[in-house]
Amino acid sequence: MQTYSNILVAIDLNDEAEPVSNKARALAQLTGAKLHFMHVTEPLSYAYGGDVPMDLSSIQEQLQEHAQERMTQFMQSANLLAYNKILANGHIETEIHRAAEEIGADLIVVGSHGRHGLALLLGSTSNSVLHGATCDVLAVRI
């Protein structure tokens, strides 16, 4: 039975990026799947609303450039530059699902902190990614 041929790895650019990408790479080696690494930044307007008395667009641009640099740094340090890199700005789950469809992913890999409790549960990215995904989802325990 074929397992996976296109793996989308959604990473935060923090400590969990490494264990998540290591696990994904090991799985890709076993299955022969293509790897795609993705990072999503959220628009500032999500956190600060539409009626902020200033133009956020230049700050937003700087933040995205910063994310772009950190993503490149991470992929360089983890020896992942050979793989497809995707940066998106928007709702995290929506962008992950959109990218998964675009590349025809059959597996999405995300980090999971395995915390308990309803509030954390509802806020959890791994959980949100799970629901609405049209393919398998692997939550890597951090």
Residue 123 touching a copy of itself (CB under 8 A)? no
Give the chain's length. 142
Residue 26 touching a copy of itself (CB under 8 A)? yes
Kindly state the tokens that stand for 54: 């200033």
Residue 133 touching a copy of itself (CB under 8 A)? yes
Residue 139 touching a copy of itself (CB under 8 A)? yes
In the list 5, 31, 60, 68, the residue contacting a copy of itself (rule: CB under 8 A) is 31
In the list 22, 45, 62, 73, the residue contacting a copy of itself (rule: CB under 8 A) is 22
The vertex-25 CA angle with 138 and 75, nearest 5°, equals 110
Residue 127 touching a copy of itself (CB under 8 A)? yes
Residue 114 touching a copy of itself (CB under 8 A)? yes
Q: Are strands 84-89 and 34-41 parallel, antiparallel or unpaired?
A: parallel
Yes or no: say if 57 and 93 are a contact pair by the CB < 8 Å rule.
Answer: no
Stretch in the footprint of a copy of itself (CB under 8 A) among 43-51, 71-79, 80-88, 109-117:
109-117
> Measured between alpha carbons, how far apart are the two ends of the chain, in Å?
29
In the list 62, 65, 76, 115, the residue contacting a copy of itself (rule: CB under 8 A) is 115
Beta-ladder partners of 9 = 37, 109
Residue 71 or 133 having the CB closest to a copy of itself: 133
Nearest distance in Å: CB 46, a copy of itself: 20
Residue 22 or 45 having the CB closest to a copy of itself: 22
Closest CA to 99 of 1, 11, 29: 11
Yes or no: say if 44 and 60 are a contact pair by the CB < 8 Å rule.
Answer: yes
